[in-house]
Amino acid sequence: MKRSKSLFAAMAAAWFFLILTVSIAAPLVCRPFYYAHINAMNMPEATGHTYEEIKQAFDEMMDFCFYGGEFSTGVMRWSEDGKAHFVDVSRLFKINFAVMVIAAIVLAVCYYLKKKKIQPELYLARGPEYWGPLALLIAFVFIGIIGSIDFDVTFTVFHKIFFPCKTNWIFNSYRDEIITVLPQEYFRNCAILIVATLVAFCLFMIKMEDSKLKRKANNA
């Protein structure tokens, strides 16, 4: 049976990026996750807007980020600078989903090649389904520790990395009311959901590979 280091690298990288992008997408596509924060964080009392107005503002902002079209935040005021930031956010959304699709296609091609008797190389008797998720898990445990020490600093660094040379992510709450219903605590909880999804996915993959290795050892 032919073993391929290139196939190993492609599969490990594809699993790494597929799990990463799926985890990032979790809070983006699960809008009820945001809705649950509206009353829990007393947003209506804090802003003077009703639950339905806040929900509408969030939905219209997210629809713009996903689908484009006219920008709107319901009855809430918005500025051109604020809109420009969400244009940048929309690009990041699209990059995330593009990488997800590419990773899925790469994996589909790799598993097709496996059926043609080309197997990925093994390291310590484990394949890319183990090493790709393990590398991602180690990276995010490290990032999670840093983020838990000082989320405010991590939040700022994140924006400086992904929105370089721009300051329109620093909102004026009078001109862009949407920021009043996007508290930093919500983004912290999004980060927690992303990390939790990622860790669960990675541990599942690692456990499956360990179980497969044990079954092979028992059948040997």
Strand-pairing partners, residue 120, are: 4
Asked whether the beta carbons of 154 and 147 are under 8 A apart, the reply is: yes
36 HSE (CA, 13 A, CB side):
9
Q: What is the pLDDT along the chain (220 residues), one digit of tens a residue?
A: 688 999 999 999 999 999 999 999 999 999 999 999 999 999 999 999 999 999 999 999 999 999 999 999 999 999 999 999 999 999 999 999 999 999 999 999 999 998 888 899 999 889 999 999 999 999 988 888 887 788 888 888 888 888 988 888 999 999 999 999 999 999 999 999 999 999 999 999 999 998 888 887 777 6
Domain ranges of the chain: 2-219
The pair of structure tokens assigned to 151 is 């989320």
pTM of the model: 0.91
